[in-house]
Structure 1
Amino acid sequence: MTETSAEQTTTRTSWAPMVGLFLAQVLMSFNVAALPVSLGGMVQDFGVPPTTVSSAIVTYGLAVAALVMLGAKLGQRVGWVLIFRVVVAVFAVSALTMVLAPSVGWAIAAQALAGASAAIIVPSLVALIAENYHGSQQATAVGSLGSARAISGVSAFLIGGALGTFIGWRPVFLIVLALAVLVFLLSFRLRGDGPDRSVKIDVVAAILIGAAIVLLTLGFNNLNAWGVLLARPDAPFDILGLSPAPVFILLGLILGQAFFFWTRRRTRAGKVPLVSLSVLGSPRERAAVYAMFVVVALEAALNFTVPLYIQIVQGRTPLDTSLAMMPFNLTVFIVATLIVRFYSRFAPRTIGVFSFMLTTVALVWLAFVVTNNWETLPTILGLIVFGIGQGALVTLVFNVLVTAAPKKLAGDVGSVRGTTQNLASAVGTALAGALLVTILGLNVGQAVVDHKELPPSLVAQVDLDNVNFLSNDDLRTALERTDATPAQVDAAVAVNEEARLSALKLGLLILAGVSAIAIIPASRLPKYRPGEIPEPDNVR
């Protein structure tokens, strides 16, 4: 097809099919964003610690990351349009399960089902855009996915916060259910190639990558509960006294390397791999994946940390959470939408490095200025600056991958994106919880030693040196069941307040260090602008 005919085709293509694809991205992102803002309500409703509720967030990301490469091949074999409709219907079932969930186990199972569905929706979005749109219209469609993800965060925190405060957390997932039904109806406007029965699914590779991601996620998610090195009492088993968490992480890394070895071997033999590694063929594309992993992990960590402190520590409402996060989420949405205007003026490398510098500065700033009041001007300023860097990066790194790969590998690009983003989200949430609880435990342990008002007998009664995050009111309630004096109660509450804030500040500082390290892969992003000749190692 010539450029003229391609452009004519582009101008004749209706945007109506894109509405359904846009809302499909909104569906997935709204579901994920609704979980943190529902944290307090789920903790109260199910009577479990916040770290247990966070398992639902982790489970969703785990399921997507573990199954998305398999989902991409299933989409090619069954047909993208048909399988898209099926999994959107399954997503609706998962939303209904969340609404009716009688326990946290049901909520976790519902998110596993949603994640398995999203594992096919994620690559199908890229593949269906490639089949329905071409030229500049395709670039606009791809860019809209980043905007959809950002606007979902804004709407989920605002709507979810209001509903969670005045009605409850369950109606939030009625919105997810309504979105799924709407996307299903709009899917009949899509067109796509029929099933390709010649596509073979590499079962060995699917097992290797799935097992690797499950082990990595379980290992990171349970570092605190099972032990960073030595096994704790809550660990399901131990290996000569060693915690299974680091063992799982090590095995996950080994299986991940085995997946790449197997895939390269299969490609050299002329067989179709589970995912084409050519989408990661240059250092610039690999740098985009590394940058994507870090930026999504940082976002997930912040989206878990802020609701944790506002709803659990401060005992405030979900609406308070949504208002506190509004500067960040609104900034991400605006920047993710407008950043494409700068692509013709600045190279991806320049935008990437500058954006990671912004997120690093913002996290360092927050570590020093954050207090128990999230509405202070310095805190809002830090969240806005972090949102600018975050919004630019989310759209940038995805566009680098899409524009570098040929259209026939659109499904593979989608699966790489899905694996990276959802593994990063799961790991970011898990590490944030483990990091904060570990720091809190160390802080409380040291503070208990320093406060002579707290005798060992009282510490043993409330188990202060084996803490999780709890509000001052909850701590006072626990102390009422002991023989603590009013002075000792006040001392214990003071220890709790100081330790929590210190854990938050140190946690933000560690995240800033991770952001600073990410400048290295960002410096390897493409340095050419659209229309310029790319570097030799980026030419296929």
Structure 2
Amino acid sequence: MHETVSDIFTRRRWAGLVFISIAVSLIIVDSTIVNVAIPAIVDDLGITSTEVQWVQEAYTLVFAAFLLVFGSLADRFGRRRLLILGVVLFAVSSVAAAFAPTGGLLILARLVQGVGGAMVLPTTLSLINATFRGKERGIAFAVWGSTIGGMAAVGPLLGGWLTTDFSWRWAFAINIPLGILIIVGVLLCVGESKADRPGRIDGVGAALAVVSSATLVFGLIEGRTYGWWTTEKAPAVGDWTWPFALSPVPISFAIAVVGVAAFVLWARHRSRLGRTTLIASGLFRIPSFRNGNIAALVVSLGEFGIILSLPLWLQFVQGFSALQTGFALLALAIGSFVASGAAGATTGRISPVAVVRVGLVAEIIGVAGVGYIVGAGIGWGWLIPCLFVYGFGVGLATAQLTGVVLADVPVAESGQGSGTQSTARQIGSALGVAILGTVLFTSTAGILGAKLDDRGLPPEQRDQVVSAVVDSAGGAIAGLEQSPDTAAIADDAKAAFSEGTRLGAFTAAGFLTLGLVASLSLGPSRGGRREEEARERDGAPTTP
């Protein structure tokens, strides 16, 4: 009878992992699917360029701002409970987005989606960290990590299909049945877990964390739009327009710096008084957690940068449709899912840190290969094996690096650890996209300007063409191709955009190389020795 009960509990845990992975898929796909649907949204709702920007970025901004807070709250109120609440909020806001009659209401729905997503991601991580041990833990993190890598690539394909064959509204409506499936599955198969003695909520620390994260990510994602120092494009809300020559971006960075300093000082003050803090200070005394988060941030600088530039290159240089672009990127998703099985097969035989390094090497080879192929002008079909290798590396490195970061984190602090790790990755990703986007568009502008000078175009006309290509992220190239008078200019724009994409890919490979170097600080974790101690001290999750 004991074995039968044990077998049932084991099956439920693995079934629970399936629903946890679907929950991760929900928020990862949503962060990429909307980009493909934007043209259809513009045509249907008639929204302005400013509203377009906020439809894309409102979700990212709120999502990053609340990761740390909800990770900590999960330890206090229950990880399963917060996951379900997050999925409910995400699904309800998806209904609002699907039926939004105006751009303003769509942006509001996206903001609420960001809150729900911030509840989901760290709680999925903390539930895995609290539920699985030993060899099973490595397999569980492999599934979680490959899901993130794969779904980031599947999002554009799904968005292209829904938008092309149905409506952009289905890009949001599809979240509703998935949300219901997740809620039912989690209730049936995932046990509740939370800290035994959670302590009082650090409200001031939570507020400082939200402000610091939001202003930092705002500056990173808006720097190229509004200007890194002086105002290049004035932000506008309704009838109000930013009136100052100084861009809001450096002000946002200054607020973030002050907020982080205040957060640290406040945490030290509460620690001296013996009160709970938003993040337990003892976590950063764990080498695998401290060094692992640094490595994760560095890796994130380059890990998903290719997903920014390559779809643009495929659509505007190669002439792919959104659906064709999604199919091309499917190789990345397949590689990521294959890595899940490979990581599971090596669990117990190869250390997680070694798997991380192998994955990073594969990522570097894949991204560098993409850069070479784009720059050499050979057939796009050669991208497929490179994307597969890259996706395989993401599936290995993302999953196992997350496992290394959380390996020695006590079960009672799983939410705090997961929130911190997710925030580090999100900030690294935002910084990486900012840098890689700057490399792509700055190099494209410089190269295209030089080519147009060689053609003898007047400076005013040259600047207009360069601005049109860069401001549209390459979308203006199609218009230039339509006229025989500008067909040669379109060829120059394609060559310049290809070179910018190549440089961006090599820059991403450089960041991943730095991440590989940073991984050298990750010694073998003590997780194998501590995990049972942590479970006994903090309490194991209960069965459903």
TM-score class normalised by the smaller sequence: 0.7 to 0.9
- The one-letter amino acid paired with 2:155 is A
Letter in 2 for 1:447: K
- Matched with 2:496 is 499
Counterpart-to-counterpart distance in 1, 2:134 and 2:524: 22
Q: Is 2:215 the partner of 1:215?
A: yes
The equivalent residue for 1:416 is 420
Q: Distance in 2 between matches of 1:521 and 1:399?
A: 16
Q: d(CA) in 2 for partners of 1:291 and 1:7? A: 42
Residue aligned with 1:222, SS = helix
Per-residue CA shift, 1:408-463, capped at 9, x if unaligned?
Answer: 111112212332233334444444434422332223333333321x2245346657
Distance 1:416 1:59, change over 3 A: same
The within-5 A match list for 1:248-327 is 248-312=252-316, 314-327=318-331
Residues 432/49 of structure 1: CA separation in 2 closer, same or farther (3 Å cut):
farther
Task: State the secondary structure of the residue aligned to 1:449.
Answer: helix
CA distance in 1 between partners of 2:70 and 2:7 (Å): 28
Does the alignment pair 1:389 with 2:393? Answer: yes
Instruction: Name the counterpart of 1:148.
Output: 147
Letter in 2 for 1:146: G
Mapped partners of 1:187, 1:171: distance in 2: 24
Partner of 2:19: 20
| Residue 475 (str. 1) matches residue 472 (str. 2) | no
TM-score (norm 1): 0.83
Letter in 1 for 2:257: L
Displacement of 1:70: 1.9
Give, in angstroms, the shift of residue 512 of structure 1: 1.9
Counting only pairs closer than 5 Å after superposition, residues 334-413 of structure 1 correspond to structure 2 as 334-370=338-374, 376-413=380-417
8 A Cα contact 1:59 1:111, kept in partner: yes
CA distance in 2 between counterparts of 1:266 and 1:358 reads 44
Aligned pair in 2 of structure 1 residues 362, 434: CA closer, same or farther (>3 Å)?
same
3-state SS of the aligned residue for 1:229? coil
Cα distance in 1, alignment partners of residues 117 and 361 from structure 2: 32
1:84 equivalenced with 2:87 (yes/no): no
* Partner residue, 1:520: 517
- Name the counterpart of 1:234: 234
Which range is displaced more, 86-95 or 424-433? Answer: 424-433
Matched residues, percent identical?
A: 24
1:118-129 alignment runs, 5 A limit: 118-129=117-128
2:450 is the counterpart of 1:458: no
Give the aligned length.
521
Distance 2:517 2:327 in 1: 34
Alpha-carbon displacement from aligned partner over 1:496-526 (angstroms, at most 9, x marks no partner): 2222112111211222221222222111112
Which one-letter code corresponds to 1:475 in the other structure? L
List per-residue Cα deviations over 1:454-482 (Å, max 9, x = no partner).
Answer: 224534665747832224332356xx7xx
Residue-by-residue CA offset, 1:62-116 (whole Å, 9 max, x unaligned): 2222112222343344444444333222101222233234455544433321121
Q: Secondary structure at the residue paired with 1:192?
A: coil
Task: Quote the residue 1:244 is aligned against.
Answer: 248
For the structure 1 residues 309 and 396, does the alpha-carbon distance in structure 2 shift closer, same or farther, using more than 3 Å as the test? same
Question: 1:445·1:464 contact (CA, 8 Å) conserved in 2?
Answer: no
Alignment of 1:329 onto 2:359: no
Q: What letter is aligned with 2:19?
A: G
Amino acid at match of 1:204: V
Q: 1:48 to 1:324 in 2, by over 3 A?
A: farther
Q: Normalized against structure 2, the TM-score is what? A: 0.83
Q: Partner of 2:174: helix, strand, or coil?
A: helix
Is the CA contact (8 Å cut-off) linking 1:9 and 1:134 kept in structure 2?
no
Q: Is the Cα contact below 8 Å between 2:141 and 2:403 reproduced in 1?
A: yes
Quote the offset at 1:394 in angstroms: 0.6
Indicate the larger mover: 97-106 or 211-220. 97-106
Q: For 2:209 and 2:402, how far apart are their aligned partners in 1?
A: 21
Q: 2 CA distance for matches of 1:513 and 1:361?
A: 11
Asked if the contact 2:87–2:183 (Cα under 8 Å) also holds between the matched residues in 1, the reply is yes
Q: Partner of 2:64 in structure 1?
A: 65
1:151-182 C-alpha deviation (Å, 9 max, x unpaired):
43454344333333333433232222211122
2:162–2:171 contact (8 Å) kept in structure 1: yes
Q: Structure 1 residues 407, 383: CA separation in 2 closer, same or farther (over 3 Å shift)?
A: same
Unaligned residue ranges in structure 2 (runs of 5+)? 236-240, 532-536, 538-544
Aligned to 1:483: none
1:141 Cα offset (Å): 4.0
Structure 1 segment 45-194 matched on structure 2, within 5 A: 53=52, 55-129=54-128, 140-153=139-152, 155-189=154-188, 190-192=190-192
Give yes or no for contact 1:367–1:504 (8 Å, CA) kept in 2.
yes
Kept in 1, the 8 Å contact 2:126–2:418? The answer is yes
For the structure 1 residues 100 and 269, does the alpha-carbon distance in structure 2 shift closer, same or farther, using more than 3 Å as the test? same
Aligned counterpart, 1:537 = none
Return the letter of the residue paired with 1:287: N
